[in-house]
Amino acid sequence: MLAQQRQQAILERVRRTGGVRVAQLVRDLGVSDMTIRRDLEVLAERGLIVKVHGGATATGTGSTEEPGFAAKSVRQQAEKEAIARRAAMLVRPGSSVALSAGTTTWTLAHHLVDVPELTVITNSVQVADVFHRAGRPDQTVVLVGGVRTPSDALVGPVAVAAVRSLNVDTLMLGVHGMSVRAGYTTPNLLEAETDRALITAAQQLVVLADHTKWGTIGISTIAALGEADVVVSDAGLPEEARAALSEHAGEVLLADPSGESALETAL
């Protein structure tokens, strides 16, 4: 395959799925890691893709843009891992916890499979699969029904009806963006409705959002900043965001992606 053909194939995959990983392209196209990285560099220089750590994602930042799960999974991996480790410390054995859809909550799920006697409610196919593969007999996992979105969330009236009949101790909510004006937002209207139902069902709301989410605004507001009991972000969160969250949210926890320590700001 010529370089131009290979790059076209990569571009078509990015546009179709929202994102690609270098390792997967190496296996699928049968070329070296260096070759794939050069191809991604060429496409990025032409403004056709956005290079991220370990791969590339589609371009575009509109309020209704909804990247697929694959696209989001290669973004801010170190930050999401640090956030997940810190958030997992908030979950007690024997409690009930709801996890919304998203790659940060999916990362968190990997840290919760070792929590004994946990009951998990989720509208994420990917999150449910993590617990299913772990196969712990002492954990109960409830996957609500609904219509599947590009981010592998189950949403709509079926999902909302299922969630409204439940009561959980804690909701771990992943968000597309957050700002003072718009609060916590998503680019999907139906997902916002389902997330709001999850908030109503939970005694405690914990928002998981890496620093890149600050200033990003999706078309639909899930909740105001002040509705979060805890916000777990990373040390890259800008000062203006820290000040705003400190003023509105109940508590802000900043995880260190280097793994050396967890910075905490209690409000």
- pLDDT category at 267 given cuts 50, 70, 90 is very low
- pTM greater than the 0.95 cutoff: no
Beta bridge partners of residue 184, listed in sequence order: 178, 223
**Higher model confidence: residue 66 or residue 106?**
106
Q: What is the 3-state secondary structure (H, E, C) of 96-132?
A: EEEECCCHHHHHHHHHHCCCCCCEEEECEHHHHHHHH
- pLDDT category at 20 given cuts 50, 70, 90 is confident
Q: What span, in angstroms and rounded, lies between the C-alpha atoms of 75 and 36?
A: 18
DSSP code string of the chain: --HHHHHHHHHHHHHHHSEEEHHHHHHHHT--HHHHHHHHHHHHHTTSEEEETTEEEE----TT----HHHHHTSSHHHHHHHHHHHHTTPPTT-EEEE-SSHHHHHHHHHHTTSTT-EEEESBHHHHHHHHHHT-TT-EEEE---EEPTTSBEESHHHHHHHHT--EEEEEEE-SEEETTTEEEES-HHHHHHHHHHHHHEEEEEEE--GGGBT---SEEEE-GGG-SEEEEETT--HHHHHHHHHHSS-EEEE-TTSS-EEEE--
Residue with tokens 């799920």: 109
- pLDDT category at 205 given cuts 50, 70, 90 is very high
Q: Residues, the chain, total?
A: 267
pLDDT averaged over every residue in the chain: 87
pLDDT digits (tens, 9 = 90+) for 113-132: 999 999 999 999 999 999 99
